[in-house]
Amino acid sequence: MARPRPRLSTRITRATGLTKSRGLRHALTFWRRSLLARVVASTVVLSVVVVGAVGWFLLRQTRDGLLDHRVEVVLAEAADEVAETRERLDAASFTETDAARQQRDLAETVIQRGLTRGYGVVLAGASGDDRLLEDGGSVRTSGLASSSVPADLEERFEAVGVPTAWTYTRIRTTTRAGGTDGDPATVSTPADRIVDGPGIVVASQVRLPADGRTYTLYFVFPLDEEAETLGLVTRGLATAAVLLVLLVAAVAWLVTRQVVVPIREARRVAERLAAGRLTERLEVSGEDDLARLGVSFNQMAVSLQRQIRQLEELSTVQQQFVSDVSHELRTPLTTVRMAGDVLHEARGGFDAATARSTELLQAELDRFETLLADLLEISRFDAGAAHLELEDVNLGDLARRVVDSTRPLAQRRGLRVEVEPSVGPHLAQADVRRVERILRNLVTNAIDHADPDGPDPAVVVRVGSDDEGAAVAVRDYGAGLAPGESAQVFHRFWRADPARARTSGGTGLGLAIALEDAHLHGGWLQAWGRLGQGAQFRLSLPRTAGAPLRRSALPLHPVDTTEVATAAAATSDGVVVDTGGRR
């Protein structure tokens, strides 16, 4: 049954999510790799913080200065108005006896003066009345809402004899949509427009001579000019801050670029040098620190080029010497071999000492030929001339073939060689000749170092495979390897015990050649050893030539040991050497 296709919206959501995720990864990668971006961004952030703090401080100081000045002016103007009002009331105290009329005249006069001077007035009822300003117990400037007077200030002036006081407030005025002031006694209709703005309320008490009662005058001064001034200053500071941050960002980008560009160029030249282009150099201009750094970098590159060329020449001479010596020795060796074969075939007619000498000569000639072949092979690896002839190989069949060919050698030492049964085939793309040489070298080394008098006189070969590759492990139960010896086991001409007699007549180059063969396949050749418990060598090859090898099909640590190896134990008690792969 076919799987139903997702809906279009689902596909769009997935695509959008993938795009966002990919964009986020690219942004994070750019952020990690770009020094210029990090420096400019950090400078901009710090500049924003500093400019914001300075701007907030300047705005606060400006606002406080404007308000303090306005309060002084308001208090002075309110004091003058109250003083003038009291003078008028005192002058009319002997001629006016109608309290309502005197109150109305007072309100009209003060309100009219307020309209001409730009402030509102609220005349509250006599102190002691229960009527509040919101209940209509006041006379006020047209359009001025009674709620413009704070309730706490109104409560404070319910008593008599309260000194002049002031406070900040929100002035609420009601105007007609057409621009005509509304009647304060009427309720606002949907056509009315309520305006809310900052202001200052100054309250002071006056005594009305007609009835002898005390009334409270509230002078409501708007702060529109101050608010406009503060807004203008705020916009100016904001504009200046944006321009300053942009300028700082541009300066930071320019200054950082002057440092980053030479560093990037040095990185590119270093990458080219690492790739083998030893003639690359930095372009140096000026005499500053970066210029001197460029000069030092170029001097280092010249020195490295000279030393690398010397090493290459020395390596070439060494390779040529080994190759020439190997080839030149073949002719006399062939002659000596022919003479030795004649003597070896005729040894039956010699006396015992001469016959034994003939046999020793034949054995050493065999070893000499093997040594020459190994030297030629090593010279090919050093010159990079070794190549693979790949084909599908069954490592199980190859291991059994090697074991069968080395079984007579093992029997002469009183050992047995066996291949553990396994479910196969264990296939890998490899060069049969080279892999067989690796296995033969590992098995013969195991036979040489196994203990025929031990509790288990055997050499065991294990073969395994998985999805990534195939592996062969060769296990012996001999003396094993001491700590530090496995680090040298793959070195050329190194032997664990120089006094030990070799059964197979090795040259000391076998493991070095085996390691090179394993690396040529993209595989691993690794060793484990522990004193008294023997040693194990493991060859791991990828299933497909050139494919990455991330794990081995067999464990490096033998499963039949008395302890379980750990990373700490491997570097202290036992020895585990990883020569290019993983455990």
In degrees, rounded to 5, the angle at the alpha carbon of residue 334 between the alpha carbons of residues 328 and 340 is 135
State the chain's mean pLDDT as an integer.
79
Pick the CATH number of 387-577 from 3.40.50.970, 1.20.120.640, 3.30.565.10, 3.40.50.720: 3.30.565.10
Between CA 38 and CA 26 the distance in angstroms is: 15
The DSSP secondary structure of 481-531, one letter per residue, reads --TTTTTTTTSTT--S-TTSPPSS---S-HHHHHHHHHHHTT-EEEEEEET
Mean pLDDT of 401-416: 87
Hey, what's the torsion of the CAs at 156, 160, 163, 165, to 10 degrees? Answer: 30
Position 117 pLDDT exceeds 50:
yes
Q: So what's the pLDDT on residue 385?
A: 63
Q: So what's the pLDDT on residue 145?
A: 84
Structure letter (DSSP) for residue 579: S
pLDDT bin (cut points 50, 70, 90) of residue 1 is very low
pLDDT tens per residue across span 195-204: 788 899 999 8
Domain extent listing, the chain: 92-222, 281-386, 387-577
pLDDT tens per residue across span 423-450: 878 888 888 888 888 898 899 888 888 8
pLDDT tens per residue across span 553-564: 888 888 777 554
Mean pLDDT of 326-342: 77
Pick the CATH number of 281-386 from 3.40.640.10, 2.60.40.10, 1.10.287.130, 3.40.50.1970: 1.10.287.130
Q: So what's the pLDDT on residue 326?
A: 66
User: What pairing do the DSSP bridges indicate for beta strands 416-419 and 390-394?
Assistant: unpaired
Domain 92-222: assigned CATH number: 3.30.450
